[in-house]
Amino acid sequence: MQIYLNENLSAYHTFGIEQSCQVLVTVDTVAELIDVYRDPQWQSLPKMVLGKGSNVLFTEFYEGVVILNQLRGIDVREDENHYFLHVQGGEGWPELVEWCVSQQIPGLENLAMIPGCAGSAPIQNIGAYGIEFQDVCDYVDYLCLETFQVIRLNRAECLFGYRDSIFKHQLYQRAVVVGVGLKLTKAWQPRLKYGPLQQLASSCSPAEVFDCICDIRTRKLPDPTRIGNAGSFFKNPVLTEAQFQTLAANYPDVVSYPASSGVKVAAGWLIDQCGLKGFQIGGAAIHEQQALVVINRQHATALDVIQLAAHVYRSVYEKYGVALEHEVRFIGRGSEVYLDMWLKEQQS
């Protein structure tokens, strides 16, 4: 365990925006994680666990303890039909996918290059190119912050939804994901329904799918080590069938996909059609190639990003009547905050 006071957080989140916290602690074991929560000197302070910082924006000085999750380790076993992986929460997700491909363990290749760590994957129920985390999840282990016991949930108990899970609701601020269990079938079949993947042959290998997706993401998305960003900033809104039919009647070219509870509309298309690619406020801008990504173009402040997000929200709502929801978590002085709250405060 290492402890830093008044630490600059710019190096710990992919936006790379200057912001600090009262205390920064690194933890390498579950026991150290428990010690942080039990330490009397930090008892009254708010706490948040940070993995790779790929989905957060610190909006102001954090008056609490930021805990860097550095739990590491991958265990693999197999039977006749499946590979079973137990992955510690601090393992990098892109590195895990690449490692599985190199070990000829198929099933994760469609989730290549999604930034973040394994512990964040079930919280967001990350997904891309026709696969979500829930499709490969066997179980999730979390530390209960009331009993300090590690509890295991099976896939059904995680209550997965689109970019959603029990960890955003019933277990919000009551749990820290410390490990995930993955179940990957040996009877692998490629999933090639989305975009350029359709050009691959049905006989393609997991490595070919992986390489194709890495190529797509490298060309479309900015590298956060070079240009600060947090990936997809907004969720793709899910509309009821009736809402979608009304939208499609006026905008027949709208990009959409079927969803379990309605129709998923491409937020990037909505933003692009508002002419916002390249639009900039302060040092924050909409990426020129991918309208779903907000970038730290030139020494952006958190306020620049918030004001840009608000402009995008208003523009899309005024044109399409669709309310976007940000996927990136806004972390305020002591808790998570939301764009709609900020907008209401501006109006009052």
Question: pLDDT tier at 108 (50, 70, 90 boundaries)?
Answer: very high
Nearest to 69, CA basis, from 147, 145, 176, 229: 176
Indicate the pTM of the whole model: 0.88
Q: What is the pLDDT of residues 110-156, one digit of tens each?
A: 999 998 999 999 999 999 898 999 999 999 999 999 999 999 999 99
State the Cα–Cα distance between residues 203 and 21, nearest whole angstrom: 51
State the Cα–Cα distance between residues 262 and 256, nearest whole angstrom: 10
State the Cα–Cα distance between residues 241 and 80, nearest whole angstrom: 42
Q: What is the pLDDT of residues 209-238, one digit of tens each?
A: 999 999 988 888 888 889 999 989 999 999
- Res 294: pLDDT: 96
Domains in the chain, CATH or no CATH each:
2-69 (3.30.43.10), 74-218 (3.30.465.10), 224-347 (3.90.78.10)
Is the pLDDT score of 348 beyond 70?
no
Q: Is 339 in contact with 313 (CB distance < 8 Å)? A: yes
DSSP string, 53-96: -TTEEE-S-EEEEEEEE----EEEEE-SSEEEEEEETTSBHHHH
Q: Which helix (H) or strand (E) holds 256?
A: strand 256-259
Q: What is the pLDDT of residues 173-210, one digit of tens each?
A: 999 999 999 999 999 999 998 878 888 888 899 999 99
- Res 345: pLDDT: 74
Three-state DSSP class for residue 330: strand
Q: How many CB atoms lie within 10 A of CB 306?
A: 21
Is the dihedral angle over the CA atoms 311, 312, 317, 318 positive or is it negative?
A: positive
Is the dihedral angle over the CA atoms 348, 62, 286, 198 positive or is it negative?
A: negative
Q: Is 178 in contact with 90 (CB distance < 8 Å)? A: no
Q: Is 165 in contact with 125 (CB distance < 8 Å)? A: yes
Q: What is the pLDDT of residues 249-306, one digit of tens each?
A: 999 999 998 887 899 999 999 999 999 999 999 999 999 999 999 999 999 999 999 9
Mean pLDDT of the chain, nearest integer: 94
- Res 168: pLDDT: 94
- Amino acid residing at 255: V
State the Cα–Cα distance between residues 93 and 75, nearest whole angstrom: 15
Question: pLDDT tier at 1 (50, 70, 90 boundaries)?
Answer: confident
Q: Which helix (H) or strand (E) holds 211?
A: helix 206-220
Beta-bridged to residue 178, according to DSSP, are none
Question: pLDDT tier at 171 (50, 70, 90 boundaries)?
Answer: very high
Is the pLDDT score of 98 beyond 90?
yes
Q: What is the pLDDT of residues 15-72, one digit of tens each?
A: 999 999 999 999 999 999 999 999 999 999 999 999 999 999 999 999 999 999 999 9
Virtual torsion, Cα 129, 135, 138, 139, nearest 10 deg? 80
- Res 221: pLDDT: 86
Query: Which residues are known to be catalytic?
Result: 163, 232, 327
